[in-house]
Chain A
Amino acid sequence: MRISDIVRKDLKIILNDKKALATLIIMPIILTTILGLAFSSSFIGSSGNKSRYNIVIVKKYDANEDLKRFREIITDGTIGEKLSIKQKNMILNQVQKLDVEEVFFKQFLGSNELKKFIKYRIEDENTAFKLLKDEKVTAVVILPENFIYDLNISLYTSFRNEVNIKVLGNSKYAFSTQIISEVMNGFADMLSTIIIGKSIFIQTAMEEDVGAKVFEDIDKFIGNMIEDMGKIKANINYLRVEGKEPISSFQYYAVGMAVMFILFASGYGSKALLKEKNNVTYQRMIIAGVSRFKIVVGNFFTIFFLALLQMLIMISYSSIILKVEWGSLLLVVIISLCAIFSVASLGTMIAVMTLKAGNYKIANVFQNIIIQFMALVGGSFVPYDLLPEFIQKLNFLSINGMALKSYLKVMMGYPVDEIKGHLFSLMISGIIFLIFAIFILVLKKEEGCVDV
């Protein structure tokens, strides 16, 4: 008997099994569609959704009042006492030229990168809260009192005033709120960079005894920094990496569900050998001269081709219907083959263990606990970076996790070097599972069985 005869028979049985088909083929399609739609607002790269996050900005400061106060403290206040008239004029001119409010609204929020997915409007505090409560906006960003004044103090003097930008979100949009928070942190980080740079600049100048002349050049310095700011792309969350394509919810869940459901193929296959034995077809094959090794290899390829079929359907469905872009076809094929190899090996190992045990306990634990555990720590349901740290540390234990990271990197446009490690891990884990399966098969024969 050829191994292909066993595989053909097994696949035919699966394709005749409506329940198995629903679980292995239909479910991932449905879940991908539902999860992709449900979390579309939580992913930056969701297609067709420019200006996805509607946010409201509340200005608790009075820009004119802040500027007036800043001018006063430079002209007549405690800071101004230490500056010459020329230096005071330089700073005031610079403030006139470089409006930090404009930097925030036009250069930061208005940058090409951010305006793709953030749409903002300015409202008073009450209106903003009402809009948030009515779920008409994703988040409210509150720019604090003295915002302009404090920023100018930090930017143009040797002092540093604290600036706290608050982000308030609706619990329904917790994930989105987190992203907006990250955006604001990105802005704060940029300012910090400039302010720290300025402090070092002033300090160095003082040490070199350049004295107050430093203020004559600070406008150039800050001007250059602001110019550089435009080149900095917002570090929003882990899915957005400089120069790489963002991931949409459909992309994420097409991958997440595909790699999780191939584990279910492995779970299905893990029961197959004992099921054959209980139906006496296993014994009948042995009597017909089919070796146990051949039967087990048949089981491996059944899981392999079943998982391959699942991946093909998922990739085709998500590409055609959900318009998911999977990236380099060659890399997708390589990742798929590595992941499927690992999954088929794992399923075969569990199948052999189950066969030897003579009951379904091991297969049930695998299906009901281990696969669910892998789905969780591998990030199939919840993006990996949003998981608690201790769960993230367990990610390496999941086949789906390794495969998912690889697919996402390919989607984002990473080169093959970036996924080599994951591919290697998938292959090695697959080989280890297979070695274990053969070891158990050879060393622990069934009661008195005569082998050929």
Chain B
Amino acid sequence: MTLLRVDNLKKYFKKIKAVDGISFEVKKGEIFGLLGPNGAGKSTTISMISTLFKPTSGDIFFKGRSIFENPIEIRKNLGIVPQEIALYPTLSGYENLRFWGNAYGLRGKKLKIRIEEVSEIIGIKDRLKDKVEKYSGGMKRRINIGAALLHKPELLIMDEPTVGIDPQSRKHILDTVLSLNKKGMTVIYTSHYMEEVEYLCNRISIMDKGKIIATGTKDELINIVNGQKVINLKFDKISKELIRKIKDINYISQIEVLDDEIILTTVNENTIFKDIIDKVSETDSNILSIDVKKTNLESVFLHLTGKALRD
């Protein structure tokens, strides 16, 4: 069953096409990933789904009804975890949760019980009395999520929820998302961290420059690359001559040059290493490391856009 349908959605800010005609569907009970680099248009899309922005054109349907004609329906069923820590730092964790519970119409005993449940889910029960400003980055992120869960939303949107936190908190958040999904919650998860989206999402849309360049399950997306390998070469220095020589090698479909790295996409893994070593030896650069990457969404993104996801 389709819970949310985005139909040819556009959002232009004067001359900037932040979102440029995207369409996708989110099915009930799935974790849907929006993957793309910073500035791809993910947050603008989320803002429109959250009814914060009206689109320039196009529409979004929640349970078959336009959210712009009936914003109340989606708002009461939507939990939003913004990229920013949208909390009051000088209030305690408990006071923040109580305020956001009030915002969703929860009060009294019902609210108290939900605060207990949510604080259990996000794992900050022991620190609820402390001011949020005293929390670590990971704890702030967790309570940011907790504030979106109080009213038991049908659809949870998480916009880059793990930015700038330690690995332990990240793991906790990812496990929380999986646990919530298991209990039936539909999740839209946006990130520029490829491995998070791979780990969590049933289906993924890859966004770049306001457009969706591919949609499918992880396997479907990887199949796009069709046997290609991504090789990451690290050099002591990269000269124009080196780039020219590398480009001359056969069977290279993509080449991406970073500061001290060259990322190649190739279908011929067998002879490519000999060719690379031969070509590099003709220049004054030295190879520091060679890393053959398993085909993943990064490879897909590189294949589709000609640039790395982390740019």
Chain A: residues with CB nearer than 8 A to chain B?
Answer: 1-2, 5, 9, 12-13, 16-17, 279-281, 283-290, 447-450, 452
Contact = CB atoms under 8 A, between A and B. Distances in A.
B75 A289 contact: yes
Given A12-B91, A13-B91, A452-B71, A288 B52 contact: no
B49 to A, nearest CB: 10
B72 interface: yes
B95 interface: yes
Nearest to A285: B103
Contact of B82 (A283, A450, A452): A283
A99 B243 CA distance: 116
Contacts of A452: 71-72, 75
B52 A450 contact: yes
Contacts of B82: 280, 283-284
Contacts of B91: 9, 12-13, 16
Interface in B54-86: 54-55, 68, 71-72, 75-76, 78, 80, 82, 84, 86
Given A279-B87, A284-B147, A452-B72, 5 more contacts: A287-B80, A448-B53, A448-B54, A450-B54, A452-B71
Interface string B81-107: 010101110110001000110111100
Contacts of B86: 279-281, 283-284
B103 A5 contact: yes
B202 interface: no
Nearest to A282: B86
A449 B105 contact: no
Residue in B13, B53, B76 with the greatest tally of chain A CB atoms within 10 Å: B53
A430 B22 CA distance: 48
Contacts of B102: 1-2, 5
B78 A287 contact: yes
B254 interface: no
Interface residues of B, number: 32
Given A280-B84, A281-B87, A450 B103 contact: no
Given A287-B75, A289-B76, A17 B84 contact: no
B90 A450 contact: no
Main secondary structure of the interface of A (DSSP, over half): loop
B53 A287 contact: no
22 contacts: A1-B103, A5-B102, A5-B103, A13-B88, A13-B90, A13-B91, A279-B87, A279-B88, A280-B84, A280-B86, A281-B86, A283-B82, A284-B100, A286-B52, A287-B51, A287-B52, A287-B75, A287-B78, A449-B52, A450-B51, A450-B53, A452-B75
Contacts of B266: none
A2 B107 CA distance: 10
Contacts of A449: 52-54
Contacts of A12: 91, 95
Contact of A289 (B55, B72, B84, B99): B72
Nearest to A280: B86
B52 A290 contact: no
A290 B11 CA distance: 24
B50 interface: yes
Contacts of A9: 88, 91, 95, 99
Given A9-B99, A12-B95, A450-B51, A281 B72 contact: no
B287 to A, nearest CB: 46
B257 to A, nearest CB: 37
Contacts of B95: 9, 12
A286 B82 CA distance: 13
Contacts of B103: 1, 5, 284-285, 288-290
Nearest to A449: B52
Contacts of B87: 279, 281
Contacts of B76: 289
Contacts of A16: 90-91, 131
Contacts of B47: 283
Given A449-B52, A450-B52, A288 B88 contact: no
A128 to B, nearest CB: 61
Residue in B54, B87, B103, B147 with the greatest tally of chain A CB atoms within 10 Å: B103
Interface in B100-119: 100, 102-105
B51 to A, nearest CB: 4
A9 B90 CA distance: 10
A289 B75 CA distance: 6
A149 B102 CA distance: 86
Nearest to A15: B90
Given A1-B105, A449-B53, A288 B84 contact: no
A2 B103 CA distance: 8
Residue in A13, A17, A284 with the greatest tally of chain B CB atoms within 10 Å: A284
Contact of A283 (B11, B52, B55, B68): B52
Given A287-B52, A287-B80, A288-B104, A450 B71 contact: yes
A449 B50 CA distance: 10
A17 B88 CA distance: 12
A290 B102 CA distance: 10
Nearest to B84: A280
A452 B71 CA distance: 7
A278 to B, nearest CB: 9
A447 B18 CA distance: 14
Contacts of A448: 11, 53-55
A287 B54 CA distance: 13
Contact of B50 (A5, A17, A287): A287
Contacts of A283: 47, 50, 52, 82, 86
Nearest to A5: B102
Nearest to B83: A280
A284 B84 CA distance: 11
Contacts of A2: 102
A447 B53 contact: yes
B110 to A, nearest CB: 15
Contacts of B90: 13, 16-17
A381 B53 CA distance: 47
